[in-house]
Structure 1
Amino acid sequence: MLVALMMVLVVAGSLLFHVLSPWRATPIASNWGFIDGTMALTFWITSAGFVGVILFMAYCLYRFRSEPGRLATYEPENRRLELLLGAVTSVAVVILLAPGLAVWGRFITPPEDAMELEAVGVQWNWSFRLPGKDRKFGASDVRFIEGANTLGVSPADPRGEDDLIVTTGEIHVPQGRPVKVLLRSIDVLHDFYVPEIRAKMDLVPGMETYFWFTGTKAGQYEILCVAYCGTGHPQMRGTLVIDTDADYEQWLDKQQTFAQTRRSEAARERRASSP
């Protein structure tokens, strides 16, 4: 009897904690409300399962408690109960998975007119690259990383000359425009995540991954790495700024191209070597 009462109190306490808890998701700033909806659906279905199972167990403990003169009945199988539980479980799993698959289909299908942005992770900071006026990225490889060429852009590829290189850890994107984020890791596994955007994806060494989003609210948001990547993992943070079109163009004009960074590096080397 006492155990059954404690189980009921656990259910009541869990529901009360959820209602009164101050911890909530950050306000969304992208088009991925579908992800919030899918998470909410998952929460409600699993909560219903949790409440149902615990209360059923508490009922059984009370209803079939030990009493003088009461004997248990051996019943190794109950086909009706097994079919019912199998059907309920199957329906719950389908309800959980189907919306997630639909959202995933959208998540991996960026619009054809989406602008491209490359985010590069390295222990323990974020760097970025934007295509230049030709709208095409130059080739890149870790073998080309040296000096000012921290992203490994190929010096032999003319398409990379006008690529914009951002190594400050702060990247700007225009509000209301789809952005396809190409992800590349130079060393170990990282994960690009902005809580207000909801979208996230791993950066896997040796391959390029991606996700896309549309920023809906102008503002400044923190970029986190949410895959443990070494001792400096907690400090691997950057900044995503969603700008109005005018502010974005002003910021874009201030960025250096790959060719400019090479010339600046060469000038520094000449100054350093001069007597």
Structure 2
Amino acid sequence: MAVVLVLVVIAVASVLFHLLSPWWWTPIASNWNYIDNTIIITFWITGFVFVAVVLFVAYCVFRFRHKPGNRAHYEPENRKLEFWLATVTTIGVVAMLAPGLFVWNQFVTVPQDATNVEVVGQQWQWSFRLPGANGQLGTSDTRDVSGDNPLGVKKNDAAGLDDIIVEGGELHVPVGKPVKMLLRSIDVLHDFYVPEFRAKMDMVPGMVTYFWFTPTRTGTFEVLCAELCGVGHPQMRGTVVVDSEADYQTWLGQQHTFTQMMASGEVKTTQ
């Protein structure tokens, strides 16, 4: 009976904890409410199965508890039971996977009018690169990373000469416009994550990964690294500031281009 009571308490307490819990998601600030909906669907399916299984185990412990003279019934095969278990399990798995696959397809299908923004992760800081007046990002190579060229932008690529270089971990984006985040790491695995945007992706050395989102409200949001990347991992933080269009243009005009950064570095070297 003690085991039965413990199992029942676990099932009831799990439901009550969900209904009464003070911990909830941060308010969403992007178009990815689909991700919230997918998580909720998965949670309810797995939660229902968890409670059903725990209560079923409690019932079995009580119903088939030891009694003097009782003998166990040996039934090595039950095709009807196996059929229903396989069918219900399949339905549950499909119900969990289908919404996720649908959202994933949206997550990697970038709108044509999205603005490219490169995010560069390295131990333990964030840097960013935005297209300049020509609207294109120049090419880059990790082998070109140096003290005066921290993002490895190729100097012989004319498309990258007017790229906007943002160091210091604070990125600005305009509200209501889609942004494609091009993610690159120059040392180890990182993961660019902004909880309010419900968007994250691993950054793999030697690869360029991506996702897109549309910010839906102005504000300042914290960037986290969601992949253990060394002793400084907890301090690898930054901010994304979502501006009105006017404020964004003002901020953009205050940033330095790759050409200006290189010229400044050459002046310092000469001095």
Normalising TM by the smaller chain, what interval? over 0.9
Following the alignment from structure 2 to structure 1, what is the Cα–Cα distance between the partners of residues 142 and 90? 47
Query: In the alignment, what sits opposite 1:65?
Result: 65
Aligned-pair Cα RMSD in Å: 0.9
Q: After superposition, where does 1:15-26 map in structure 2 within 5 Å?
A: 15-26=15-26
Q: After superposition, where does 1:11-50 map in structure 2 within 5 Å?
A: 11-50=11-50
Query: In the alignment, what sits opposite 1:212?
Result: 212
**What is the SS of the residue equivalent to 2:82?**
helix
Amino acid of the structure 1 residue aligned with 2:75: E
Query: In the alignment, what sits opposite 1:256?
Result: 256
Q: After superposition, where does 1:157-168 map in structure 2 within 5 Å?
A: 157-168=157-168
**What is the SS of the residue equivalent to 2:192?**
strand
- Give 1:98 shift: 0.5
CA offsets 1:194-228 (integer angstroms, 9 cap, x no match): 00001100110001010000000100000000101
Following the alignment from structure 1 to structure 2, what is the Cα–Cα distance between the partners of residues 102 and 3? 42
Following the alignment from structure 2 to structure 1, what is the Cα–Cα distance between the partners of residues 74 and 124? 62
Name segments (4+ residues, structure 1) moved above 4 Å.
none
Q: After superposition, where does 1:47-58 map in structure 2 within 5 Å?
A: 47-58=47-58
**What is the SS of the residue equivalent to 1:11?**
helix
Following the alignment from structure 2 to structure 1, what is the Cα–Cα distance between the partners of residues 205 and 60? 53
Q: Which runs of 5+ in 2 are unaligned?
A: none
Aligned CA distance change for structure 1 residues 72 and 143 (closer, same or farther; 3 Å): closer
**What is the SS of the residue equivalent to 2:197?**
coil
Following the alignment from structure 1 to structure 2, what is the Cα–Cα distance between the partners of residues 2 and 145? 64
Amino acid of the structure 1 residue aligned with 2:53: V
TM-score, scaled to structure 1: 0.97
Percent of residue pairs bearing the same amino acid type = 59
- Give 1:18 shift: 1.7
Following the alignment from structure 2 to structure 1, what is the Cα–Cα distance between the partners of residues 113 and 237? 29
**What is the SS of the residue equivalent to 2:100?**
helix
Paired residues in the alignment total 271
Query: In the alignment, what sits opposite 1:194?
Result: 194
CA offsets 1:47-95 (integer angstroms, 9 cap, x no match): 0000000101111111112223333221111111111111100000000
Q: Which runs of 5+ in 1 are unaligned?
A: none
- Give 1:266 shift: 1.2
TM-score, scaled to structure 2: 0.98
- Give 1:123 shift: 0.5
Query: In the alignment, what sits opposite 1:153?
Result: 153
Following the alignment from structure 2 to structure 1, what is the Cα–Cα distance between the partners of residues 151 and 69? 79
Amino acid of the structure 2 residue aligned with 1:56: F
Query: In the alignment, what sits opposite 2:116?
Result: 116
Following the alignment from structure 2 to structure 1, what is the Cα–Cα distance between the partners of residues 205 and 2? 55
Following the alignment from structure 1 to structure 2, what is the Cα–Cα distance between the partners of residues 148 and 223? 25
Amino acid of the structure 2 residue aligned with 1:226: A
